[in-house]
Amino acid sequence: MFSNIIKAIEPKAKRFLNSKKKTNSLLKQSEAKGNEKEGELKGSWRTLRTFVEAIKAWKSGEYPHFPKKSVVIIVAALIYFVTPIDLVPDFLIGLGILDDAAVLAFVANQIKKDLNKFDEWKQQQSKTITVDMEEESKK
Overall domain count for the chain: 1
Above 80 in pLDDT, residue 53?
A: yes
What's the full length of the chain, in residues? 139
Alpha-carbon gap, residue 85 to 87, rounded angstroms? 7
Kindly list the distances between the CA atom of residue 42 and the CA atoms of 21, 31, 39, 132, in Å, as whole numbers in the listed order: 29, 15, 6, 34
10-32 per-position pLDDT tens digit = 999 999 999 999 999 999 999 99
Closest CA to 47 of 97, 101, 124: 101
Single-letter amino acid, residue 124: Q
Domain that holds residue 36: 2-138
Kindly list the distances between the CA atom of residue 35 and the CA atoms of 13, 98, 103, 105, 115, in Å, as whole numbers in the listed order: 22, 16, 18, 18, 21
pLDDT at 2: 83
Of 37-41, 72-76, 99-103, 128-132, give the range with the top mean pLDDT.
72-76
pTM of the model: 0.84
Single-letter amino acid, residue 117: K
77-99 per-position pLDDT tens digit = 999 999 876 555 555 555 567 88
